[in-house]
Amino acid sequence: MGLRVFNTLTKQVEEFLPIRKGKVNMYVCGPTVYDYIHIGNARSFVAFDIIRRYLEYKGYKVTYVSNLTDVDDKTIRRAQKMRITLQKLGEKYSDAYFEDIAKLGIRKPDINPRATQHIGEIINLVQTLIDKGYAYVVDGDVYYDVSRFEDYGKLSGAKTEALKAGARIEIDPRKRNPADFSLWKKQKLGESAWDSPWGKGRPGWHIECSAMSMKYLGETFDFHTGGKDLIFPHHENEIAQSEAATGKPFAKYWLHNEWLTVNGEKMSKSLGNFITARDAIEKYGSWVVRFFLASTHYRSPIDFNDVNLKQAKRRLERLLDAIEEMNALEETEEKDADSEALLQQAERVKQRFEEAMDDDFNTALAISALFDLVKEINQYVETHAEIETETKRKVNDIMERLVEDVLGVAIERRKPESAKLVEDLMNLVIDIRQQMRERKDWKTADEIREKLEDIGFVIEDVPEGTKWKIKRKKV
């Protein structure tokens, strides 16, 4: 079976069939640049970065577009509060966003359109909706008439009748229906504004994404993604205005990630549990945070807490230690049954990893398969001092492709010359310590071991001699 995805639009798992063979067009709702991204944002961006990586792993050429919302109610209020221009605010938090996603190993989108740089496209789209009878002008404001779009509610399940009684909509008696939403907002005192056929104003939030996604990906594209909280009203309204304008399906597959909670509660500043991505990275390390977020299927809830992060750290260290210890073995050209068995297990794990990812990008199951290989590697290292060169190369290649290329977690490597120098120096110290032991100078021997442990080396005396390894630093 090929790749299957859960489509929010149809509420079922479907076989993935790209619109154009070998190519995937993907739009990810990006941040509103009025503050630092929080750990919930990071969950979404990591999830869709992994999906992008896996599509490329499968051989697709992916065009990945993710917008920056740099003009809306939130950005305007924040700029006014900070007494800076909208442009300065956008620059400050866009730069912070790019810094944070880089630390998390999230690859920069192919295109990062900003709403303020696409006012012309937005105005043209709004005018098209007016001309087709889906939008109306009221004293410089432009509204979308939801009653004109028969399929309104097909993504979220919300029907017009239900929307009238308490949905997240603006209350405005000038609207034909309470559920109608803004396409263009008339300028208010002190707000940034642009010229339009309806007077000075600014775009509504929803129309921005429709205009930018269709400009770069076409009127119909493969994937539209975002957090579960965007299903309504944002994505529902995007569908209504885009399909009304073009008469074509907007996005073929809709993917949404589940909620992230903090210590079992919804994250909010009022509860004092609001965590920015950069604070999480500072406390736990970027790779631990990414590995933690990747370890749960994107459509499953995830709870951010100390216990779970510490467990993620231990698991990641176990994974990386296994790779490092295998690479520390001497290489040999001689094949043996155990070496061949290890390689076969690696190939089986690769297949299981792919099967898990083909099942709606199930990273939890994919990572579980990786730890079966970790177990095999550890057993091999415990009983062998050498590894066949080709086996080592192939196992490394599998791990690199799955861990680094797909999951996006960096595998640390020491430079060969540095590794050789460390090995020679440690062998010298071990020899000196052994001489102390033979002289029954246990105090000096213990002091050497303790000092080595203080600087990051683990020393273990076994019947065959003394073993050592480097204690992994915080990841």
| Claim to verify: residue 375 and residue 423 sit in the same structural domain | no
In a domain, 262, yes or no: no
In a domain, 267, yes or no: no
Instruction: Please compute the mean of the pLDDT values over residues 58-83 and round it to a whole number.
Output: 97
CA angle 131, 133, 134 (to 5 degrees): 110
pTM of the predicted protein model: 0.87
Residue 108: its pLDDT value, please?
A: 95
Asked which of 378, 406, 434 is the last residue of a domain, the reply is: 406
| Claim to verify: residue 19 and residue 133 sit in the same structural domain | yes
Residue 56 has pLDDT above 90, yes or no: yes
In a domain, 382, yes or no: yes
pLDDT digits (tens, 9 = 90+) for 296-346: 999 999 999 999 999 999 999 999 999 999 999 999 998 889 999 999 999
pLDDT, mean over the chain:
93
In a domain, 264, yes or no: no
Least trusted range by pLDDT, from 9-23, 45-59, 197-211, 419-433: 419-433
> In the structure, what pLDDT confidence band is assigned to residue 419 with cuts at 50, 70 and 90?
low
Q: State the amino acid at position 466 in one-letter form.
A: T
| Claim to verify: residue 397 and residue 461 sit in the same structural domain | no
Residue 323: its pLDDT value, please?
A: 95
Q: State the amino acid at position 157 in one-letter form.
A: G
**Structure tokens given for 166:** 């308490």
Instruction: Please compute the mean of the pLDDT values over residues 234-240 and round it to a whole number.
Output: 98
Residue 450 has pLDDT above 50, yes or no: yes
| Claim to verify: residue 239 and residue 375 sit in the same structural domain | no
In a domain, 207, yes or no: yes
pLDDT digits (tens, 9 = 90+) for 369-397: 999 999 999 999 999 999 999 999 999 99
Q: Which helix (DSSP H) or strand (DSSP E) does residue 212 occupy?
A: helix 205-217
Residue 37 has pLDDT above 60, yes or no: yes
| Boundaries of domain holding 362 | 278-406
In a domain, 5, yes or no: no
Residue 420: its pLDDT value, please?
A: 65
| Claim to verify: residue 201 and residue 252 sit in the same structural domain | yes
| Claim to verify: residue 95 and residue 182 sit in the same structural domain | yes
In a domain, 92, yes or no: yes
- For CA atoms 350, 352, 353, 357, the dihedral sign is positive
Instruction: Please compute the mean of the pLDDT values over residues 36-42 and round it to a whole number.
Output: 97
- For CA atoms 74, 302, 272, 167, the dihedral sign is positive
CA distance 344 to 338: 10
pLDDT digits (tens, 9 = 90+) for 252-302: 999 999 999 999 999 977 788 999 999 999 999 999 999 999 999 999 999
> In the structure, what pLDDT confidence band is assigned to residue 459 with cuts at 50, 70 and 90?
confident
Q: What percent of the chain has pLDDT over 90?
A: 80
Instruction: Please compute the mean of the pLDDT values over residues 154-158 and round it to a whole number.
Output: 93
Choice between 419 and 360, residue whose per-residue pLDDT is larger: 360
| Claim to verify: residue 321 and residue 217 sit in the same structural domain | no
Residue 145 has pLDDT above 70, yes or no: yes
Residue 221 has pLDDT above 50, yes or no: yes
| Claim to verify: residue 191 and residue 247 sit in the same structural domain | yes
Residue 383: its pLDDT value, please?
A: 93
Residue 474: its pLDDT value, please?
A: 47
CA distance 127 to 211: 12
> In the structure, what pLDDT confidence band is assigned to residue 457 with cuts at 50, 70 and 90?
confident
Residue 294: its pLDDT value, please?
A: 98
Alpha helix positions (H), 295-336: 306-327
In a domain, 394, yes or no: yes
CATH of the domain at 301: 1.10.730.10
Residue 235: its pLDDT value, please?
A: 98
Residue 140 has pLDDT above 90, yes or no: yes
Residue 13 has pLDDT above 80, yes or no: yes
Radius of gyration of the chain (CA): 28
| Claim to verify: residue 437 and residue 375 sit in the same structural domain | no
CA distance 401 to 370: 12
| Claim to verify: residue 113 and residue 245 sit in the same structural domain | yes
| Claim to verify: residue 130 and residue 63 sit in the same structural domain | yes
